[in-house]
Chains A and B, each alone.
Chain A
Amino acid sequence: MTKGFFTDTSVCIGCKACEVACKQWNDLPDDGSALTGMSYDNTGQLDASSWRHVKFIERPVAREGVESTLGEFSWLMMSDCCKHCAHASCLEACPTGAIVRTEFGSTFVQPDVCNGCGYCNAACPFGVVDKLVEDGRSWKCTMCYDRQRDGFEPACAKSCPTQSIQFGDLDELRERAQRRLDELHAQGVGAARLYGESEDAQPGTGGLHAFYLLLDEPESYGLPAAPMAWSRRAADGWRAVAASGVTLGVAVAASALAGRWMR
């Protein structure tokens, strides 16, 4: 059964319980205590020791459907994590077979196989997988593979007090997300949209097993509008090479012919 996360950012309150629960369950180190000065976000990014990251976006746009005295301003929050792409660039790029697709449909870096080459770091279209300086290996969200094996939901979803992070069967989550989207649209939140909910919606990744409901364009959340799997981009590249090769050949032939003709 394919499992996934549906993260409904419209109800995220920015408490960061998911970040702490993730670090506690997975026993991840802290990543230093520097103030970023970017709203309440002092995590900054997903990396080898932060597998959940709550983004705080202060934007000069009023939030639809919400009465506020702040005028043209709203504060968006979003708990980000590994997207567990259907076409996973990290998995495709991994030369050792360390990254596998689990029985739950998630992607998983096997720490005992990873040789630290870092190809997955470069391949990920979301910049999620990261090498830990201390041990040289790459790490990311496991969708709490160990908890799932024991029949528990991932720590982040378990700790989320507003059910912004929902865990379950991917098909069921997709239906739930559509219902929530319809509800928000009916409430006048026209900008609400799903992100990566299916292959149709996001062909570049084949759809995300951790998909989102956003209240603005993906770029507002620092997400690529049209992420592309490494292999697909590579395939496009080879096609382009092939096409240009043919063009070049034709051109060479043509010029040769032309030359001959001109002579």
Chain B
Amino acid sequence: MEQPRCVLQILKRHYARYTPEMVEAVCGVPRASFLAIAEELIRNSGHDRTSYICYAVGWTMHVNGPQIIRSAAILQTLLGNIGRPGGGIMALRGHNNVQGTTDVSTLYETLPGYLAMPSVQDTSLQSYLDRHTAHVGLYGAYPQYLISSLKAWYGDTATAENGYGFDWLPRLTGDASYEASVAAAADGALEGLIVIGMNPVVGAMHGALQRKGFRKLKWMVVRDLAMVDTAEFWRHAPEIDRGEVRTEDIGTEVFVFPAAAHTEKSGSFANTERRLQWHERAIPPQADVTSDLWWIHEVGRRMKAKLAERDDPRDRAMRALVWDYATPSAEEDPDPEAVLREMNGVDEHGRLLRGSSELRADGTTRCGMWIYAGVITEEGNHARSRTPGTADDPLGHGWGWSWPANRHILYNRCSARPDGAPWSERKRLVWWDEASDRWTGNDVPDLPLHTAPTYDPPPDAADAMARLGGTDAFIAKTDGKAWLFAPSGLRDGPLPVHYEPVEGTVRNRLYGQQTNPARTEWRRPDNPYHLAFADPRFPVILSTNRLAEMYGAGVMSRWLSWLAELQPAAIVEMSPAHAAELGVASGDWVTIVTARSEVEARALVTPRIRPFVIDGQRAHHVAASYHYGRKGLVTGDPINELFALAGEPNTTIQGSKVTSVAVLAGRGATGRSVVTRGPLVAEPIPDAGVRRDLEQVGPHVEGPHGYLGPAGRAFGLEEDA
């Protein structure tokens, strides 16, 4: 620990400049407040106490969002708040099933269960497995996980001889995130778009650019509870109202399907604790309303029927796909438990698997998603179970089912000391029971049951799990240890650092580099950026937020009178000092301007908002709610119209929480947009002495549709660490 190049010493040196004084200067958070929080966190962490960090998209939707979360991980690891009851980091999701949708992989760069999507460099199953299979720990079983998935998808057609159909999987050739797709669509490079339960012209950034892309699609499918703003981009949009675009000139064919709500369909939700809870529908869908499950099943069924008539090598995947979910009739939903059973997996006798440890890599097990193995067994669907916690089972293992293995707290080996005894009576969770020679306790132990605390893996250990030592609590890591320093896996570096937003108001005081050098941008005339800071045209800081009464992009609140009336307009909150300068009062209209767009909102003047004093400079701050659009019972301009496309390098999550803006009193020319009008504001003053940032940092490449960012993201290649 004293060695100057050990991680702890590197950390200490790296963060030495992050003093309370620096926090105050950079963030505008008073030193005393910062210290009070730090001291409370330390006081409440230790053998007898644990602390929890909760966050939401206010932390993630930045061009360095994942690094912010990693900071929390480093802090919690150092404080001993991981793998122990009451400890951890909790992502407060924007919807009740965000965890579930990520698990089953609605993201383009993963396969179900967080397995990697193959990239162009994966020329064979073996090369893919060689790249991902770990020598130590949980991911030593990568072949079991992937091959069982391929068997679940392709059934008997998948054989050892054809690599279990690995070559039928698509390959990543580039960034296929929503932002990259918007840029591509705006250049006419996207043929169609299926939008399920999403209202991107409100929820995602730069609505005008999105709509430009939509106008060039051949077709668009929207499935939602109401006729959302996205579905009517062709007739209810600022550029249509202004006459810059005529509906009759738009060739996109739009198909809208009314979708069933959660009350009209059965299935599971997975919450942020990774706990699956099954729910039953209360009523069947009415009239022509259908569930997403029914619709996707039907599309797959019809596609397979069409492809059965032709023999084209490109159709091999769809032809091999097993699509045999039991359906009572054509009008009714397939049995959702049939889907759960496929994810859970079966052995060669069709018996439901009890856990992922039963998976094999020889094609004899089928499992659609290894992390859910054990959720539904011969005893029944455990996601349905509703036994509350008891004194003997305080965590409530009988209520729903948590992946993996109904384990409630991951890495729970941490709850015991290296010798296997609990750190304290109050915080005991799992411990080593010498008498029975195994781990036991109030949760499912997160390491092989009989790995003794003193176990030191021999060089000839049987498998990757046997290569974990008795104190290697972090079994998903390739060395069994917590990573304070991340040697691989992140495109923007091993240790989090402070970067200012892509568009801020002040210079980065900590580094010469202004903002995340590994971010992705789309440099194109219809996506202009501000100066990175001190842009004289945009002196005010805008942050975006939600309101308790509104839900996401609005489909579940703006259409419901009892919620709509509670927050009836897009509001922008501002300080009394700022309002006085502008000459506006609460309820008055203001116009917010960026280089992309212009939106109107109603002012709400409150002392809760105060100007930031950062680095000695005062900057006004406005906070705007983003829920509104042109459809629904209550309407307003979508605030996210103001943002540029800009992405985080690992996930391409949109950086839509903060930007620089100008705020003017009164109503402006509604929705004036760079996309249809050309440049909105004068170009930056060339001699202002400020640039966006150090352009040459990092392995940036230029990609299609204005892309500038990491090479791996552009071309689907994995960079060397």
Contact = CB atoms under 8 A, between A and B. Distances in A.
Report if A and B associate in a common complex. yes
B36 A37 contact: no
Contacts of B586: 37-38
26 contacts: A19-B562, A19-B566, A20-B563, A23-B562, A24-B562, A29-B561, A30-B564, A30-B565, A31-B565, A33-B564, A33-B565, A33-B568, A34-B568, A35-B568, A37-B587, A37-B602, A39-B604, A40-B547, A42-B565, A42-B566, A42-B567, A43-B565, A58-B606, A58-B608, A70-B608, A73-B608
A16 interface: yes
Interface string B602-627: 11101110100000000000000000
A35 B602 contact: yes
Interface residues of B, number: 29
B633 interface: yes
Interface string B564-591: 1111110100000000000001110000
A75 interface: yes
Top 7 A-B pairs ranked by shortest CB distance? A37-B587, A37-B586, A33-B568, A30-B561, A30-B565, A35-B569, A23-B562
Nearest to A39: B606
Nearest to B547: A40
Contacts of A36: 587
B585 A37 contact: yes
Contact of B566 (A24, A43, A60, A70): A43
A16 B549 contact: yes
Contacts of B549: 16
Contact of A14 (B548, B564, B569): B548
B666 to A, nearest CB: 16
B606 A35 contact: no
A37 to B, nearest CB: 3
B449 to A, nearest CB: 39
Contacts, number: 64
B632 to A, nearest CB: 10
Contacts of A40: 547, 567
Contacts of A24: 562
A33 B568 CA distance: 5
Contacts of B33: 67, 69
Interface in A30-79: 30-40, 42-43, 58, 60, 67, 69-70, 73, 75
Contacts of A29: 561
B634 interface: yes
Contacts of A240: none
A20 B564 CA distance: 11
B536 interface: no
B388 interface: no
A42 to B, nearest CB: 6
A58 B607 contact: yes
B43 to A, nearest CB: 15
Contacts of A235: none
Nearest to B549: A16
A34 B36 CA distance: 41
Given A67-B36, A70-B607, A30 B587 contact: no
Interface string B515-549: 00000000000000000000000000000000111
Nearest to B585: A37
A228 B521 CA distance: 66
Contacts of A31: 565
Contact of B30 (A20, A34, A69): A69
Nearest to A21: B562
A251 interface: no
Contacts of A69: 29-30, 33
Contacts of A23: 562
A19 B561 CA distance: 12
B200 to A, nearest CB: 25
A45 to B, nearest CB: 13
A117 interface: no
Interface in B9-36: 29-30, 33, 36
